Amino acid sequence: MNKTLDDILAEFAPYIVEDRLIPASAGQTAPFPTDLDARIAEILQRRGVSCLYTHQGEVWEYVRGGRNTVVVTPTASGKTLCYNLPILHALLQDDKARALYLFPTKALSQDQQAELNVLVGGDTPLPVKVSTYDGDTPGSLRISARDLGRIIISNPDMLHDGILPNHPKWVKFFSHLKYVVIDEAHAYRGVFGSHVANVIRRLKRIAAFYGSKPCFILCSATIANPQEHAESLIGDAVALVDKNGAPRAEKRVILYNPPLVDPVQGVRRSVLTESQRWMLAFLKAGVKTILFAHSRVKTEVEASYVNNALKNIYTDNRRIRVEAYRGGLLPNERREIEKGLRDGSVQGVVSTNALELGIDIGGLDAAVVGGFPGSFNSFWQQTGRAGRRGGTSAAVFIASAAPLDQFIMRNPEWFFDKSVEEARIDPDNPYIFMDHMKCAAFEAPFDTFSKREDNFFGADTEDALALLEEEGVVRCAGQRWYWADRSFPAEGISLRSAMTENVVIIDVTNGRNAVIGEMDRPSAKELIFKNAVYIHRGRQYIVEDLNIAERKCLVREADVNYYTDGYVKTDIKVLTEDERFTYGEVGRETAYGGLGDVLVRTQAAKFKKIRFYTQENVGYGNIDLPEEEMHTRALALLFPTESAGGRILGYLDAMEAGSVLSSVGRLVKNIASVFLLCDSRDLGVAERVRDPHFGTPCLFIYDKYPGGTGLSEALAVRGEELFRALAAVVEGCPCESGCPSCVGPGENKAGTAQFLRVLSVGTI
């Protein structure tokens, strides 16, 4: 591929900031364990595997010794064999033993089922029944899976609301549960990870109820705190394996900054346009490519652009086929695309982060990342999707106008030297904790007399049960606590979002009435409102009606030359103020902080129509939908007149002050996520020129999840560091009067820079 790649790079050379070669490295191997079941060794040898990588051998030793283990190695390093090897061996030695495999997505579950089918169902099949048990499993197969499945492949969502609440049907399985695999453990972070940690608490409790204590095997991509994260996730000690023994193929990592189209305003050619150009260049050269876009709409739009450009272009006497892969696709559509990528009938895919995880999608040679994906961990996971089959691969990062993207372009060494983020969870978040206490009480009575329950939910178990008793959902009798409500608690708790309700999307063209997709309720209000354009696998639909109460959206096929984007307005009401912070020196305070509970109201009020290709606005419309409400935690940055920051704002009129606060809010949204090692989408920001509660100019930074996730608290104690970082970004930007890379085009750069300088040093 070298010559082809060099030719492609020559087309983009003037705007390539960095072309970094990550060299290949040889693997380190170890012999098969001497006590490995001969049947497994024979199957592996027939598949061309004559030895193990050293990390696989190390995991074998830990697991055979009964230790919980986490293995942390790059993509395509053979992590699957790390757990399949000891588990298949154990199941062959003990015909009653069972294992549970948990994957964060259904696609990964299907991938693992296919891998295991090859291992256990070859020429000399092994007596180990493998069953997938998730939302797509037909009812006719579920009883067989429960009763006969030796390895059950599932996901945390099904464990949460399908398996654990119905554990009496799983007596045989839980009584002999010996191993639990948690793959892609790095994906369980933030709110989702906090939920999953509580589901694991419930799993261990039910397993103990039936007399088993499973050993946990976790696999993760590279993160900064793998052992700590794994122990937080399962609530137990974990052995760490992090020395990769697998060989690594050569990779070229290219940093590309799109050309300026308006040097005065600092406007660059869009990521959408440049991503398309790169993908087309690779595909026309016969290079299988994945392009990562960062929203459902962008994914569909990019795929449509690329397919239109390839209409009359063929390679190997067949048309180049590109698919969009995102959340909301139906299961059969996901599997069709995955199969097409493996067998070569699909040469390119445009994806959200849904394909970031380790699904086997065949031999891709190029990955294009359109805009920074929110974390360094995600970036390296996405670029790792290319080059899994050996040979030289290419990974292209196309910078957007966002401040962090442009900072990377100005500091490529910092980018390559930057360590990956930590994965953080808070299993004891009171909202999440109490939800799962309800689920656990439903599953089995709590016995607080023996203190055995403290092993699962901690020392606060009895206090939490007392609160639930006040709520009327549990009752205490003889120091045992019983579920006392008619509800099914797991049904109302979503592990992945604040809302459990999904809206189904129904195509009513010519009376079809066919379900073509689904979407969570908050997203539906912003994306599939009445008269919105919904794009599904390249086809355009106009939304005829969105019925939130009935959770359905009716769409009709159409052919239009634009797509739609909703505008969301946010209103914040302060409920409580728990703590105050002072930034700056005593007598020279720059700002203040208030930490407390807030009510956040969001509403999609208007939408704009954006013409394909040119990106120009071609019209607007109103959205008539009820607002969403969320009770969460927030840090309010306050700038009263007695503070240095407040005095700067006092020199400006209301419009100029609003512009400065808006610019700072935009910067906070992008930069604070680096400080907190979270995704920028986990934080919300709203500015007020004069907040009615505090009576001063104010900038709210809030957690975008009910109850909060601790991000506001973490940021509150690092306010001064944040101010210095924001000032450095603005002052380091080469534009003259504001651009998308700093305060925004047309904004008050001079005023914002002065404001941030004062916040940083405390003087005017």
Please report the pLDDT score of residue 398 as a whole number: 96
**Tokens, residue 377:** 């961990």
From first CA to last CA, the distance across the chain in angstroms is 58
What per-residue string of b and e applies to 171-206 under the rule 16 or more CB within 10 Å gives b?
eebbebbbbbbbbbbbbbbbbbbbbbbbbbbbbbbb
**CATH, range 2-21+249-417:** 3.40.50.300
Alpha-carbon distance of 134 to 160, in angstroms, equals 11
Domain range 29-241, its CATH number among 3.30.360.10, 2.30.250.10, 3.40.50.300, 3.20.20.70: 3.40.50.300
Cβ(490)–Cβ(160) below 8 Å? yes
Identify the pLDDT of residue 576. Answer: 93
Look at residue 565 and give its three-state secondary structure: strand
Token pair, residue 136, equals: 């797509």
pLDDT at residue 140, as a whole number: 83
What is the predicted pLDDT for the residue at 361?
64
Q: CATH topology of 2-21+249-417 equal to that of 29-241?
A: yes
Q: Which two tokens stand for residue 576?
A: 């409580």
Helix locations, 24-162, DSSP H: 38-46, 54-64, 79-93, 106-120, 139-148, 156-158
pLDDT at 2: 46
Low pLDDT (below 70) residues in the chain: 1-3, 265-266, 315-317, 356-363, 388-390, 450-451, 497-501, 674-679, 739-741, 744-746, 762-764
Token pair belonging to 623: 């959205």
pLDDT of residue 628: 85
Whole-Å CA distances, 382 to 3, 294, 560: 24, 12, 32
Q: Residue written as tokens 């045989």? A: 172
Question: Rounded to whole angstroms, what are the CA distances from 366 to 29, 247, 251, 342, 636?
Answer: 28, 19, 9, 15, 44
Instruction: Write down the domain spans for the chain.
Output: 2-21+249-417, 29-241, 430-490, 502-560, 573-599+629-761
Q: Which residue has the tokens 């709210």?
A: 700
The pLDDT value given to residue 469: 92
Residue pair 719/581 in contact (Cβ under 8 Å)? The answer is yes
